[in-house]
Structure 1
């Protein structure tokens, strides 16, 4: 039976899109197939559905999302009555519900409609759909008493109309009233009530939205600059010294186009980070000279300068009437919205109340959701040595907005702040450290000299070494000033992990440091090891890689069924390469009799049940292996890249294992999402360390310090 969640309201202006986005995030975390249905829609594109479709990669045909438009619904109700209207919408809802495990229903928006009792219509539709209801009450610019009364009345209204009310959400309340309202509602309603404060960044229009609304022309700026939120408006009319004092972080400067002094002054202030602005809006259809625009572009690359035809007064009137909207073109607002929802809504409890059927499949999106949720549940501090790299800064913004972890970024502070300002990124919540000027440099030099004294390293030499961002970040982890480190977006694998070999070293129960990739296929997640570190492991090392990889898989919710891969299956082949895999398999069984393992085995027999039924019919691993151990780096690295590119798999990693504290490497082609996932994994690795499993170990070679660049 399809379970549906109906998000609705009582009036317009409740900011309900934050809740709809948050509920969609929860549903896709647990269920593979989530449908969307909006009973009534206005003419024009549906911004929220386009956002949901882009963010959650929905394959649903947009034509099935909507019941009918408001004009059609109003005419049908007038001619044939409400029963016929509801009956038609129910039929169209069930066309969606039959194809999905759960459906998110987006209620009517109470804006410019002609229905006499829109609340009752939403309640009746929810009941006819068999959907549970989450009513949203807007509290913007209202007193605490007014918000309390409206929330209680909304609950009574929907409950009185027979709705199954899952929870109430009171949204956009004043921050100073939020805690009081939440406390009082807890004792006055029989269902949970989540109280979410107003967030200015969500209601602030982006520079792109302002440009579109005012019919402006972009003179300078890139997509990242146009995506900045205009948190304030500063109108230029004063002389430059007084004008500069009026600038505020994230403001949009509005000035006549002939005031070149204010344009250059505002952009110079932005370049210096005092303060970073959203952009410059020029009125009167005046455009500065080519020389001024060239200077402006050099001062603040990417910062938008837009020209509009109107004068300052009508432009101001339009600006103050604009409000930011969540849509597919504002992914940063979506991250802010989700961060707000996850901070103030008990998502675990709400998900239990929804009772959506759990999927047997583990999709890439479910895996990514799980990573962020687990990292957020027990926050750790992660150090990112590449603090001036744009991809790292964009990832840091996502991580901070979603509240995934605490962050330290390394590099020259002025360069980090300038780059962040150019990208429109707020790093207020991040710690910035310049290793070359940090007071920690002397302490770290002494520590590194102690650790490497046997290699002849003096304090003087160490002082230079620890100025390197990767060595500095690794020492922060070693000294407990950070819980983990992620690097490699611009550094080689060797440069990233060599400091870890020298400083952090291997765990007592690990022979070597190795790695895995989480390969997120369409319907499952496989673990590949080792595809990044050890070129040609011997049997003992291969056994260690298998044991470590199984532990990593289990830590991240993948049931470990280990396949020791080779070019032959079972006893069908012989030779040094096969014998190595066979010996490694037996060593794993000797050390860890509790692990399910098969080897040697070919890849197809490991993952395809039909092949396994022929080649290894009695095996409990063949055909359903989840942890695949490759015999050497050449095989593993090429296989993971082939699967990634040919099968469209998402490869998360490499995730290093065997170190005493977590340090992880990025591919130099890493996307922002790759960095976010790797940081989340690192944070999880740093949580609740478990006692190493006790098992027999055979002598092995010393830990390899070889690393290969991807």
Structure 2
């Protein structure tokens, strides 16, 4: 362990855990070997619940920090004067958590009123660990002057803002509404439905506004802007908070509460509140509200749920009438509290991320990581030059390279909700210029019902309007197959074919499809209209597998059922080049059931011959085989089975002998180890066309678009 950063909050409600985990992610994205520790647990809920920080860092980042000391035990040790033994335990926990890391992030304790020993514990831990101290502050209800004094006062506990170890502060929740003015319940006056955010001061201006940052050695290390979506609890969390009885579960664990509407007025005056993410709170005898909410759900509006108050259930015939809406995923709950008490209880709900809400914490961490000057912290720790391509680093690299590529990517499944959301994200983040192929009115309708804001710059192409342009060029491309204009027009009714023709004529730079179409429907038009590169004998595929420690490449797991030795060699070369193109140092393992010369049989002989051919064609690549998977991936196994191999035990590219082996292995690793896989990315085509799994998440589509944009830039440069 080379360097330790101790993170301390200036007060309650600063989001200390979120900032700590976001800082871990930011450093990890830079390739820094980073670890996390929470030496002393601080639980405000049930003592049987898992400690939030250590649980979440394991669930989101795969780190395994050592078990923390309970706060009650630490308090007892302080009272007995056993500070030194307690700090020895803290150091042991921190060192056990750090293992081989270059940087350790240590989360301190949140200050609590009338418990001064918290400050003493934080000071002692930072000193014992010889750590640099970073403060986390949030304005909350403070004025700017009060915020400045709070930062100075907390810094003084560690020696003050001029102390060499007190290096700076991260500002969280910048621009959040004043807690005293927040209004989350829709009242009689629609104008009071929600609080407007406070006037946002640009993050970069805080270094000039707050006097505390005028000290040369004390920096503003980041300013995380407030985002209401990041404090949106799941409907399940709301049900638990109210002690509600769930009548219809629906998607209670997936839907999030972005607004709360108490329906006290007549229904026509409440309709404007029935929007995506709205939680409807209404007396159980308001059948009109229940029916209106059910109609909204059937029209595609993903309400967060309905709470029927007063322990009143609507009549059976009304519930039967709403049954179709319930089956659409709409959660429905009953509360024994009356409407007013239910509203009061909802207003007092804790906005911290629960220990089991991993998806929300992932989003929070990404937002924090994007707002922190992690590069400066890494350079201070003198580890920036030591890089590894961790999964976060790989995803970060994809986004950066895709932005630089600035390519137009066609999405033939333009009316599909996940595709629309992914396109919107890519457009907002500058990952690619996305082109949605589909009826523009239908795309806008789907976006509205899914609460997706379509950027003005996104392109919507109506296939009915665009089709005519590509009939003649398609006839020319396929005339050797006897294609006529009527046949071409009929085939172009398939948006995949139309999108592929747009790519063939360079109207777009790449294509991504497969969220609802099969692999064959995506790949077949590409093989017919785009064709393979002159230097490629076949089209193959790779998956980028984001293992806990690093990103590796699997090929071919999607296209070629049983390649011969020459084809397998081509797949190995293509996969190695793809790995190198995306920042992964290629060490190519030709996988088989046998390692080295130990096995015989036609299958292993094919792999042995493919290895020989690939080495002969590309002596610049590190290629070895046949290797068993454990010999290729595990150093201890490689030491006994292939001690002289430069690939064994440290392979980054795994080439499987056939589709049966490759597809089975990738799915087994993906599902059993909960590994993110990006792909399949197609190799060997003249222009980039990439397929999606029909179970693809929005995140999968975003990264596949990024891959495609990068491929397009690389092919153009080549």
Cα-to-partner distance string for 1:93-115 (whole Å, 9 max, x where unaligned):
42341353354322211235511
Structure 2 partner of 1:663: 689
Superposition pairs of residues 75-94 of structure 1, within 5 angstroms = 75-77=76-78, 79-81=79-81, 84-85=82-83, 87-94=85-92
Superposition pairs of residues 149-548 of structure 1, within 5 angstroms = 150-151=150-151, 158=158, 160=160, 162=163, 164-174=165-175, 176-179=200-203, 181-182=205-206, 184=208, 188-190=214-216, 191-222=219-250, 224-247=251-274, 249-272=276-299, 276-299=302-325, 301-354=328-381, 367-377=390-400, 378-379=402-403, 385=412, 426=452, 428=454, 439-445=465-471, 448-475=474-501, 484-518=510-544, 526-538=552-564, 540-548=566-574
Name the SS of the counterpart of 2:224 in structure 1: strand
Cα-to-partner distance string for 1:284-331 (whole Å, 9 max, x where unaligned):
222122232233342361122222122222222222222432124333
Q: Residue 24 and residue 604 in structure 1: after superposition, are their counterparts in 2 closer, same or farther (change >3 A)?
A: closer
Q: Provide the C-alpha distance between the structure 2 equivalents of 1:519 and 1:426, rounded to a whole number of angstroms.
A: 29
1:53 counterpart = 2:58: yes
Structure 1 partner of 2:581: 555
Q: Provide the C-alpha distance between the structure 2 equivalents of 1:672 and 1:484, rounded to a whole number of angstroms.
A: 18
Between 1:202-211 and 1:668-677, the stretch displaced more is 668-677
Q: Residue 537 and residue 510 in structure 1: after superposition, are their counterparts in 2 closer, same or farther (change >3 A)?
A: same
Between 1:210-219 and 1:95-104, the stretch displaced more is 95-104
Post-superposition offset of 1:551: 0.6
Q: Provide the C-alpha distance between the structure 1 equivalents of 2:669 and 2:121, rounded to a whole number of angstroms.
A: 50
Between 1:225-234 and 1:633-642, the stretch displaced more is 633-642
Q: Residue 157 and residue 534 in structure 1: after superposition, are their counterparts in 2 closer, same or farther (change >3 A)?
A: same
Name the SS of the counterpart of 1:313 in structure 2: helix
Q: Provide the C-alpha distance between the structure 2 equivalents of 1:639 and 1:686, rounded to a whole number of angstroms.
A: 29
Q: Residue 529 and residue 318 in structure 1: after superposition, are their counterparts in 2 closer, same or farther (change >3 A)?
A: closer
RMSD: 4.4
Runs (5+) with no aligned partner, structure 1: 693-710
Cα-to-partner distance string for 1:185-243 (whole Å, 9 max, x where unaligned):
69735434311111112334432222222221222242x34543322222212222222
Post-superposition offset of 1:660: 3.2
Name the SS of the counterpart of 1:176 in structure 2: coil
When normalised by structure 1's length, the TM-score is 0.79
Between 1:259-268 and 1:40-49, the stretch displaced more is 40-49
Superposition pairs of residues 573-612 of structure 1, within 5 angstroms = 585=611, 587-598=613-624
Name the SS of the counterpart of 2:13 in structure 1: coil
Cα-to-partner distance string for 1:254-302 (whole Å, 9 max, x where unaligned):
22211111222133234435x6532222222221222322333423611
Between 1:548-557 and 1:451-460, the stretch displaced more is 451-460
Q: Provide the C-alpha distance between the structure 2 equivalents of 1:329 and 1:608, rounded to a whole number of angstroms.
A: 32
Please say if residues 221 and 373 of structure 2, whose CA atoms lie closer than 8 Å, have aligned partners that are also in contact. Answer: no
Post-superposition offset of 1:524: 6.0
Post-superposition offset of 1:375: 2.2
1:125 counterpart = 2:125: yes
Structure 2 partner of 1:704: none
Post-superposition offset of 1:170: 0.8
Q: Provide the C-alpha distance between the structure 2 equivalents of 1:230 and 1:646, rounded to a whole number of angstroms.
A: 31
Q: Provide the C-alpha distance between the structure 1 equivalents of 2:126 and 2:428, rounded to a whole number of angstroms.
A: 33
Post-superposition offset of 1:487: 3.6
Cα-to-partner distance string for 1:680-700 (whole Å, 9 max, x where unaligned):
5445434555743xxxxxxxx
